[in-house]
Structure 1
Amino acid sequence: MGLGKTIQSIAFLQEVYNVGVRGPFLVIAPLSTITNWEREFNTWTEMNSIVYHGSLASRQMIQQYEMYCKDSRGRLIPGAYKFDALITTFEMILSDCPELREIEWRCVIIDEAHRLKNRNCKLLDSLKHMDLEHKVLLTGTPLQNTVEELFSLLHFLEPSQFPSEAEFLKDFGDLKTEEQVQKLQAILKPMMLRRLKEDVEKNLAPKQETIIEVELTNIQKKYYRAILEKNFSFLSKGAGHTNMPNLLNTMMELRKCCNHPYLINGAEEKILAEFRESCHHHVPPDFHLQAMVRSAGKLVLIDKLLPKLKAGGHKVLIFSQMVRCLDILEDYLIQKRYLYERIDGRVRGNLRQAAIDRFSKPDSDRFVFLLCTRAGGLGINLTAADTCIIFDSDWNPQNDLQAQARCHRIGQSKAVKVYRLITRNSYEREMFDKASLKLGLDKAVLQSM
């Protein structure tokens, strides 16, 4: 990640264009990255690239004025296009745009192609209905959980060479012997161009990851025990009829409790009431801030860590799985008067790039960038930051590696520190240990190629 896949792909398309294959080319990328794709096309090539995204009205406007060539009577000329490359998002492909299906694409480049790892996903189904002559998949993490996911990518690229999943899994499903690994590597070698950071940038600053085990606060211990024991009478204190806690997914509730008890329905009102009583009517002016920080071990640590990082001139990325957890962190940053930016699934594409640019400016006063691991952890460049805090880990460890690579990539001149917060003796610790085992598969098959 951060090795120039975007630039390489654009250079490849330019070379193909120079040889006489004049497109049209299709680029499919995550929403956060399409502005950057357009910027790189304009910087490095003479090709005319357009971004195809937005509301129905704005897409119709693009079709009307930017996509098709017309004759003197205003009729469309079949197979003639004003653009050379069209950049769009996964969502546009999923929404089944017939105008994209009608075009005979000479080459498609799919960024963050691990989105295709599930054989039965709707995205793969939509792509099968498109006319794609040549396919290029870009990913820093092609092998995430199982060998089946790798088959999904190979079948999409070469369906004739990899027709049967059953046969592929019979040969490589368990990967128990070194012979199997070597055979799989021999199949992958002609299809895969793999580069590591150390191959490309000898002077890249090192990355150091520290796992910080955090204790549950007394409040968290009460809620943790109540969730495990399914103690409904304790949990429903302070909750109205509309926000009763949901214990159908116990594991999710335990994760919420480890992050911050405010994430449990009805807990915030109860905790604030108890904290107000403990103050004996001498309510401090920053009452809400104190209650919020003291309720969660992770926030106690963040509260001690951020002032030191600020004093040391560092800039910080904080990743969380949960949007509501980012809401709590945002509330904390506002009350502490730390300047910040934020990207999660609710932030629109053009606003995402604007936030990245504000944070990355040389004279930027932004100190923290709050990011949702899935929305903000893919494809974007945040080398202005040199500290990464993983507030809560992902079941898929590759997603956390993707998140860390936002700041540990080519262009980073400082040493990068990663702090991973894990709650001691909790379900979160057990989950992290199990997830870490998945990295072994990637290491066995790909790292030794």
Structure 2
Amino acid sequence: MGDHTTIDKLLSYRTREGTDELEILVKYKNLSYYHNAWLLQSEVEAHSANGRQRVRRFLEKPLWELHFSEDEIFNPNYLRIDRVIDEGEAHGIVYYLIKWRGQTYDAATWETSDIVQELDDETSPRLAEYHARRQLPDEKLKSYNVDRNVRPPPSAWKPAKESPVYKNDHTLRTYQLEGMNWLTFCWHRHQNSILADEMGLGKTVQSTAFLNNLFTQMNIRGPFLVITPLSTIGNWEREIREWTDMNVVTYHGGQMSRNLIVETEFYYRDVRGHVIPGIYKFDVVLTTYEMAMSGASQLRPIPWMACVLDEAHRLKNKSSKMGELLKSYHMDHRVLLTGTPLQNSLEELWALLNFLQADRFASEQAFKEVYGNLKTAQDVERLQALLQPLMLRRLKEDVEKSIPVKEETVIEVELTTLQKKWYRSILERNFSWLKQGGSKKQNVPNLINTMIELRKCCLHPFLLKGAEEQMLDEAGELTHQQHFQLLIDASGKMVLIDKLLTKLKAGGHKVLIFSQMTKCLDIIQDYLRGKAWGFERIDGNVRNELRQAAIERFSVPESESFVFLLCTRAGGVGINLTVADTVIIFDSDWNPQNDLQAQSRVHRIGQKKPVQIYRLITRNTYEREMFDRASMKLGLDRAVLQKLHAGGNHGAYASQMESSSKQPFNREEIEDLLKRGAYGAFMDDDDSKAFCEEDIDSILQRRTQTIK
């Protein structure tokens, strides 16, 4: 148990009311945020040998940088009980060990029963749940005392005609009920399966309903394992708790957290406190792919009755250590979830099937000999016939008529005069490499670097090293407002963003802006601050609990946040932002599937408004050429998928698109892109001037291409 002798964190500062003295909000080591206290600056400085230096550095930071949000000093979840995990007594006082919401188990603290009762949730009392979890139910004991390897025969399977009523009166949509029925059908047939519905159709809910069916109808009271990316783990936990009465434990954190989870959440204990072997207290363990590796010594010995792997394309790399390790887990039944099935090579498809059913798909070479030649309709149909029993794939437009339409508008943006100057400079600086052409393989890294520099220039010249400083030097003394205007005028895309967001703000819309580069998001963030518009942000550097808090702030009805900034790949998975109705793709991904996944954050179940996508492309540059080629690949991908959908719901094949983790173009393609995309940099500056002066309605009318 903690005490008030050691200060763990300094959280905020203010002037004490009625005095000139400064006071600091402190959190004590090994005590919860409930025990935070305001201390005088002199008291904090006296707490440790380096106290004065620590306080000085702390006070140099602005409050907006220190605080969790404009309204909260720290995450308010840190004062909400997530789980009560143990109890004890000292000096006649009962204490409970509390795991706080938004914090890992190693931050759990002992609190008196009075504090726990004060903070307990009246609608979902955590203390009562703790006492209930300690009792071993008869149903669970019976479930563990039968032969767990025996399943009912396939003939015993009967589809549910209508959705069961789940906890909190939740029900499945018609196609979700079909998905749950199909998953249970596969389970009866001892057939591991892939649920490959398009993003946004509720694969999490269907999988949760499937596990709950095993739990309630088949009396298999776990243990179940769900492995998911970190970004979706919070959503999974909420869905399982919202829809079912299964006891779900999130296995995540450092070694100390994981040990405490095993100690307090894994086993029942008898009256003497001894572990009751062979029966697990949890029903579902929810963890990440990384934790499944780090915690293998604790998770691998457990005989999992069913395992669900979300975003299963993580397993597509046949040489992945993660895939090999997970194969060594005992999983009686496996369900893979992916919204982008088979988007890459046949080798990756084989890796998925090998994980799903290793005895049937043991040889990659044999698989490629039979299915590797996809040149005719017969070849495709042969692969479809293989996949149909293993995979269920539905598209939004086929099954969910209530989702409003989505319209994508490609807006052609001009390079500004400043951008053309820097674009020409990059091309001229690398002219010798381009002139040498494709005869030297060692030129490829230089060509790729040139591509990256040109891409940055198309987004905003400030992304180029030294560009902002040089522009400011050339502009001379600037006021704050003039500097802000330069940030806009330096980039055609920022000129467009300024006009477009002003129009959207006036129309009461909420907007997501996606970019590949965090530094590009920094520039847009500076712009939003300059306009005094509320915004949230998620990129790869934002911790999981802060991500969820940002989503909740953006989504509440009274939210003043107008824009949500997201890094395409960090914010593209498992995030629901249907409160927005507009998406701006500031720069396109080389793999168009990633942009589609980003759009699905808005265009999904729960969306009430038509969704408008704006994709910004710089005209007559290499970016335009790159986008056209990626679009051709996506068109081929869709054509193949649609052909297969016409043949049946349970099979799908996607074109062999280049993996986003690989270089998407070869040397000749890179050279061609650079040379053809150089055209815009040498055009007359009148086009740039006209674009900057044009109003937004004229731009949307004259410079766009609409894709339904």
Mark yes or no: TM-score above 0.5.
yes
Cα distance in 2 for residues equivalent to 1:347 and 1:339: 18
Match of 2:601 in 1: 406
- Select which of 99, 104, 107 maps to 2:298: 99
Alpha carbons of structure 1 residues 432 and 22: separation in structure 2 relative to 1, 3 Å? same
Match of 2:76 in 1: none
Residue 391 (structure 1) shift:
0.9
Match of 2:206 in 1: 8
For 1:118-137, what aligned pairs fall within 5 Å after superposition? Answer: 118-137=317-336
Alpha carbons of structure 1 residues 101 and 214: separation in structure 2 relative to 1, 3 Å? same
Cα distance in 1 for residues equivalent to 2:495 and 2:564: 19
- Select which of 342, 349, 367 maps to 1:143: 342
Match of 1:90 in 2: 289
Whether contact under 8 Å (1:109, 1:137) holds in the other structure is yes
Residue 441 (structure 1) shift:
5.0
For 1:216-295, what aligned pairs fall within 5 Å after superposition? Answer: 216-230=415-429, 249-275=449-475, 277=476, 281=477, 283-295=478-490
* Structure 1 residue 299 corresponds to structure 2 residue 494: yes
For 1:32-181, what aligned pairs fall within 5 Å after superposition? Answer: 32-72=231-271, 74-95=273-294, 97-181=296-380
One-letter amino acid of the structure 2 residue matched with residue 400 of structure 1: D
Residue 248 (structure 1) shift:
6.9
Whether contact under 8 Å (2:354, 2:361) holds in the other structure is yes
Match of 1:351 in 2: 546
Cα distance in 1 for residues equivalent to 2:454 and 2:267: 54
One-letter amino acid of the structure 1 residue matched with residue 383 of structure 2: L
SS state at 1:105 partner: coil
Whether contact under 8 Å (2:235, 2:574) holds in the other structure is no
One-letter amino acid of the structure 1 residue matched with residue 533 of structure 2: Y
**Runs of 5+ consecutive residues of structure 1 not aligned to the other structure:** 233-245
Match of 1:213 in 2: 412
- Select which of 595, 612, 620 maps to 1:425: 620
- Select which of 196, 211, 221 maps to 2:395: 196
Residue 148 (structure 1) shift:
2.7
One-letter amino acid of the structure 2 residue matched with residue 332 of structure 1: Y
Residue 59 (structure 1) shift:
2.5
Match of 1:388 in 2: 583
Cα distance in 2 for residues equivalent to 1:435 and 1:205: 26
Match of 2:630 in 1: 435
Whether contact under 8 Å (2:430, 2:450) holds in the other structure is no
SS state at 1:209 partner: strand
One-letter amino acid of the structure 2 residue matched with residue 292 of structure 1: L
Residue 145 (structure 1) shift:
2.8
SS state at 1:190 partner: coil
One-letter amino acid of the structure 2 residue matched with residue 284 of structure 1: T
Greater relative contact order (Cα 8 A, min sep 6): structure 1 or 2?
1
SS state at 1:358 partner: helix
Alpha carbons of structure 1 residues 74 and 249: separation in structure 2 relative to 1, 3 Å? farther
Whether contact under 8 Å (1:148, 1:173) holds in the other structure is no
Cα distance in 2 for residues equivalent to 1:206 and 1:228: 42
One-letter amino acid of the structure 1 residue matched with residue 381 of structure 2: Q
Cα distance in 2 for residues equivalent to 1:30 and 1:272: 43
- Select which of 563, 571, 584 maps to 1:368: 563
Q: TM-score, normalised by structure 2?
A: 0.58
- Select which of 630, 641, 660 maps to 1:446: 641
Whether contact under 8 Å (1:356, 1:382) holds in the other structure is yes
Residue 174 (structure 1) shift:
4.3
Whether contact under 8 Å (1:112, 1:379) holds in the other structure is no
Residue 430 (structure 1) shift:
2.1
Whether contact under 8 Å (1:422, 1:429) holds in the other structure is yes
SS state at 1:50 partner: strand
Larger radius of gyration: 2
Whether contact under 8 Å (1:22, 1:84) holds in the other structure is yes
Deviations 1:74-126 (A, max 9, x none): 55444322211111122223445421222222211111112222222233133
Residue 409 (structure 1) shift:
0.7
SS state at 2:392 partner: coil
Match of 1:242 in 2: none
Cα distance in 1 for residues equivalent to 2:483 and 2:255: 44
Match of 1:333 in 2: 528
Match of 1:243 in 2: none
Cα distance in 1 for residues equivalent to 2:269 and 2:610: 54
Match of 1:239 in 2: none
Whether contact under 8 Å (1:34, 1:88) holds in the other structure is yes
Residue 72 (structure 1) shift:
4.9
Cα distance in 1 for residues equivalent to 2:448 and 2:627: 22
SS state at 1:132 partner: coil
Q: TM-score, normalised by structure 1?
A: 0.91
**Runs of 5+ consecutive residues of structure 2 not aligned to the other structure:** 1-198, 432-445, 646-708
Query: Which stretch of structure 1 is more off in the superposition, 110-119 or 186-195?
Result: 110-119
Cα distance in 1 for residues equivalent to 2:471 and 2:410: 29
Residue 133 (structure 1) shift:
2.0
Matched-pair identity in %: 63
Whether contact under 8 Å (1:144, 1:439) holds in the other structure is no
Q: Tell me how large the CA RMSD over aligned residues is.
A: 2.0
Alpha carbons of structure 1 residues 253 and 130: separation in structure 2 relative to 1, 3 Å? farther
Cα distance in 2 for residues equivalent to 1:290 and 1:386: 28
Deviations 1:271-308 (A, max 9, x none): 22223x3xxx5x33313311211111111110110010
Cα distance in 2 for residues equivalent to 1:305 and 1:128: 50
Match of 2:504 in 1: 309
Deviations 1:314-333 (A, max 9, x none): 10011111111111111111
Cα distance in 1 for residues equivalent to 2:579 and 2:385: 39
Alpha carbons of structure 1 residues 293 and 400: separation in structure 2 relative to 1, 3 Å? same
Alpha carbons of structure 1 residues 364 and 175: separation in structure 2 relative to 1, 3 Å? same
